[in-house]
């Protein structure tokens, strides 16, 4: 034996090399075989999926713009596709483990940044303080100016600035606008001055609303005093860098501000309303960017509802009178639809009771229309016809209470900047899935419930979402929400 060793001293060496190669190869094989690229999914808990024949539902279960789980429910078969758009998608396969550790504040920013909209502005003097430009001050009384910075979903930020001063609206007009700092900066402030007094950002201002801010900024300006309202589009965009380059700064009362001599936002009326017509609701839901057209509901002074169909440029395509009249106290809410040719909205009174109206459009007119009673406890998040229109599907979120003890170490783990060591008893309602109901609609004055199914996150995922979703900045438990963003099908060729 010793003689053999002296002639082949590298025998053991080769053995060690073989073992090493085997271990690494086994590791790679394990990763390749077991990698569950489509394993994160939802489970049918109750009901028979065969009842969903003829329906196609697509949606997103989204934590952020870069981490989402898209799923498709087609003829009862539900498939999911993890979509992690960050560069580490090969290694961070489970978004619920990593990307759920997002502060609540980021959620708000992400949601708003994706869909734009609302808050702050004033007629007359205008006072803004944003985190990226410092203090801005505009003392012009006859003009209305606003700086609008949007952090777009693609990570870039766009800023516009527009003037409404030349519109000569009879009533004092306020502009609502979202103010953001540079990308990633959560600090944003908005104040406005009206009649010489600083007012709060959360004041209820509804005269002007921002309808869209993703592709282009569209505003709804309410009419009044004989003036009709309408939709206006801001036509010129500048990046914040361009604004800095183009606009020379001047000093007003010791504060450096951009000059007002070169307004670089132009605004155009694209859809004038009839006299007395007011917007009730606009389809500016989360899936707006997935749609090719837009719609809004308006009402006349007697409460009659009108459906306005608009093209991508917010120009009018058709105006249809609906057989619904709004009474005092009723509110209308637009819901994301399951198909691009369908429109869903609810009409509810103060108690939440009312109806869900489902329309399928055909050649810019209503092809099918159904109404369902609205249950206040479980309002739908979407609804739609089956392919042949014989049945209706409604989807409600299901919520369940999750309870448990969160030790200080877990809180500390997700909150490295704070040291919380006490155990925390948690109990909170969390969205865990969807209740799907199928109604027959053919030859029936009132749709009849024919099937009820429940899809949801498996128990394991619920707990994981719950545990990983804890973020405690002020010892308040936040749970990450399921945000449905129902994609529409592609338009038929």
Instruction: Answer yes or no whether residue 91 interacts with another protein by CB under 8 A.
Output: yes
Residue 47 CB, nearest distance to another protein (Å)? 25
Mask 173-212, x = binds another protein (CB under 8 A)? -----------x----------------------------
**Which CB sits closer to another protein, 97 or 325?**
97
Among 79, 85, 86, 246, binds another protein (CB under 8 A): 86
- Among 40, 84, 49, CA closest to 65: 84
Among 37, 81, 315, 413, binds another protein (CB under 8 A): 413
Instruction: Answer yes or no whether residue 8 interacts with another protein by CB under 8 A.
Output: yes
Angle at 100 between CA 94 and CA 105, to 5 degrees: 155
Backbone angles phi, psi at 217, to 5 degrees: -90, 120
Number of residues lying near another protein (CB under 8 A)? 50
Residue 107 CB, nearest distance to another protein (Å)? 12
Distance, CA of 36 to CA of 58 (rounded, Å): 21
77 burial class (0-12, 13-18, 19+ CB within 10 angstroms)?
exposed
Token pair 């604004």 is found at 243
Beta strands in 274-390 (DSSP E): 278-282, 294-299, 304-310, 316-325, 331-335, 342-348, 354-362, 365-374, 382-385
- Where does this chain touch another protein (CB under 8 A) — which range of 96-104, 122-130, 197-205, 236-244? 96-104
Instruction: Answer yes or no whether residue 367 interacts with another protein by CB under 8 A.
Output: no
- Among 267, 246, 271, 250, CA closest to 259: 250
Q: Tell me how far CA of residue 365 lies from CA of 163, 204, 274, 387, 485, in angstroms.
A: 36, 35, 20, 18, 25
Instruction: Answer yes or no whether residue 400 interacts with another protein by CB under 8 A.
Output: no
Instruction: Answer yes or no whether residue 407 interacts with another protein by CB under 8 A.
Output: yes
Chain positions 102 to 121 lying near another protein, rule: CB under 8 A, are 102, 106
User: What residues does 157 pair with on adjacent strands?
Assistant: 151
- Where does this chain touch another protein (CB under 8 A) — which range of 138-146, 297-305, 326-334, 410-418? 410-418
- Where does this chain touch another protein (CB under 8 A) — which range of 83-91, 121-129, 317-325, 448-456? 83-91
Instruction: Answer yes or no whether residue 35 interacts with another protein by CB under 8 A.
Output: yes
- Where does this chain touch another protein (CB under 8 A) — which range of 29-37, 108-116, 188-196, 212-220? 29-37
Asked if 454 contacts 396 with a C-beta cutoff of 8 angstroms, the reply is no
Among 293, 316, 352, 408, binds another protein (CB under 8 A): 408
**98 secondary structure, DSSP code:** H
Q: What is the 3-state secondary structure (H, E, C) of 346-375?
A: EEECCCCCEEEEEEEEECCEEEEEEEEEEC
Distance, CA of 229 to CA of 171 (rounded, Å): 11
Mask 245-284, x = binds another protein (CB under 8 A)? ----------------------------------------
- Where does this chain touch another protein (CB under 8 A) — which range of 71-79, 93-101, 116-124, 305-313? 93-101
Asked if 52 contacts 75 with a C-beta cutoff of 8 angstroms, the reply is yes
Among 53, 70, 92, 378, binds another protein (CB under 8 A): 92
Token pair 């004989």 is found at 226
Chain positions 447 to 466 lying near another protein, rule: CB under 8 A, are 459-461, 463-464
- Among 93, 50, 42, CA closest to 71: 42
Residue 116 CB, nearest distance to another protein (Å)? 23
**Which CB sits closer to another protein, 31 or 250?**
31
Instruction: Answer yes or no whether residue 155 interacts with another protein by CB under 8 A.
Output: no
Distance, CA of 283 to CA of 398 (rounded, Å): 24
Token pair 């489509």 is found at 38
* Tokens coding 110: 């992400």
Backbone angles phi, psi at 422, to 5 degrees: -80, 150
Instruction: Answer yes or no whether residue 477 interacts with another protein by CB under 8 A.
Output: no
Among 1, 3, 4, 10, binds another protein (CB under 8 A): 10
Instruction: Answer yes or no whether residue 43 interacts with another protein by CB under 8 A.
Output: no
- Where does this chain touch another protein (CB under 8 A) — which range of 98-106, 137-145, 148-156, 444-452? 98-106
DSSP string, 406-462: E-HHHHHHH-TTS---S-EEEEEEEEEEEEEEEEE-TT-SS-EEEEEEEEE--HHHH
**Which CB sits closer to another protein, 326 or 410?**
410
Mask 132-151, x = binds another protein (CB under 8 A)? --------------------
Distance, CA of 59 to CA of 71 (rounded, Å): 5
Backbone angles phi, psi at 104, to 5 degrees: -60, -35
- Where does this chain touch another protein (CB under 8 A) — which range of 31-39, 243-251, 318-326, 481-489? 31-39
- Where does this chain touch another protein (CB under 8 A) — which range of 17-25, 210-218, 282-290, 322-330? 17-25
What is the three-class DSSP state of 323?
A: strand
Q: Tell me how far CA of residue 280 lies from CA of 191, 228, 383, in angstroms.
A: 27, 15, 20
- Where does this chain touch another protein (CB under 8 A) — which range of 10-18, 73-81, 340-348, 350-358? 10-18
What is the three-class DSSP state of 113?
A: helix
**Which CB sits closer to another protein, 93 or 478?**
93
Q: Tell me which residues touch another protein (CB under 8 A).
A: 8-13, 16-17, 19-20, 23-24, 27-28, 30-31, 34-36, 86, 88, 90-94, 97-99, 101-102, 106, 184, 402-410, 413, 416, 459-461, 463-464, 467
């Amino acid at each position: 034996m010793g003689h053999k060793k002296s002639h082949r001293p590298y025998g053991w060496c080769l053995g060690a090399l073989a073992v090493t190669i085997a271990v690494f190869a086994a590791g790679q094989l394990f990763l390749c075989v077991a990698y569950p690229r489509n394993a994160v999914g939802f489970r049918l808990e109750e009901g028979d999926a065969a009842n969903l024949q003829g329906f196609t539902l697509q949606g997103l279960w989204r934590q952020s713009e870069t981490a989402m789980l898209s799923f498709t429910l087609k003829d009862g078969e539900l498939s999911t596709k993890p979509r992690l758009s960050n560069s580490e998608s090969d290694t961070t396969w489970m978004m619920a483990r990593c990307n759920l550790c997002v502060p609540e504040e980021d959620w708000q920013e992400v949601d708003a940044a994706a869909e734009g909209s609302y808050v702050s502005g004033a007629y007359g003097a205008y006072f803004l303080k944003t985190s990226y430009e410092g203090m801005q001050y505009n003392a012009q009384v006859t003009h209305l100016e606003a700086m609008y910075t949007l952090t777009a979903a693609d990570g870039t930020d766009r800023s516009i600035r527009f003037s409404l001063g030349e519109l000569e609206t009879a009533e004092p007009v306020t502009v609502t606008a979202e103010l953001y700092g540079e990308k990633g900066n959560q600090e944003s402030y908005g104040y406005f001055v009206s009649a010489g007094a600083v007012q709060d950002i959360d004041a209820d201002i509804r005269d002007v609303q921002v309808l869209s801010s993703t592709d282009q900024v569209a505003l709804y300006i309410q009419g009044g005093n004989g003036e009709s309202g309408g939709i206006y589009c801001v036509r010129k965009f500048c990046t914040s860098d361009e604004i800095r380059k183009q606009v020379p700064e001047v000093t007003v009362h010791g504060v450096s501000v951009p000059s007002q001599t070169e307004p670089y936002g132009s605004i155009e009326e694209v859809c004038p309303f009839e006299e007395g017509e007011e917007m009730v609701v606009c389809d500016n839901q989360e899936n707006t960017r997935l749609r090719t057209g837009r719609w809004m509901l308006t009402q006349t002074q007697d409460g009659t509802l009108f459906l306005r169909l608009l093209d991508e440029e917010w120009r009018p395509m058709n105006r249809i009178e609906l057989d619904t009249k709004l009474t005092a106290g009723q509110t209308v809410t637009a819901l994301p639809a399951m198909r691009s040719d369908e429109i869903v909205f609810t009409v509810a009174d103060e108690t939440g009771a009312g109806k869900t109206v489902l329309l399928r459009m055909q050649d810019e007119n209503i092809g099918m229309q159904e109404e369902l009673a609205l249950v206040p406890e479980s309002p739908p998040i979407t609804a739609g016809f089956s392919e042949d229109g014989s049945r209706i599907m409604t989807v409600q979120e299901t919520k369940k209470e999750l309870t448990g003890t969160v030790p200080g170490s877990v809180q500390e783990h997700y909150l490295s900047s704070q040291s919380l060591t006490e155990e925390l008893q948690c109990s909170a309602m969390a969205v865990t899935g969807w209740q799907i109901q199928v109604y027959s609609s053919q030859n029936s004055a009132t749709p009849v419930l024919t099937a009820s199914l429940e899809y949801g996150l498996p128990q394991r995922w619920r707990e994981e979402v719950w545990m990983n979703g804890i973020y405690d900045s002020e010892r308040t438990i936040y749970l990450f929400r399921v945000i449905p963003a129902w994609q529409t099908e592609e338009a038929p060729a």
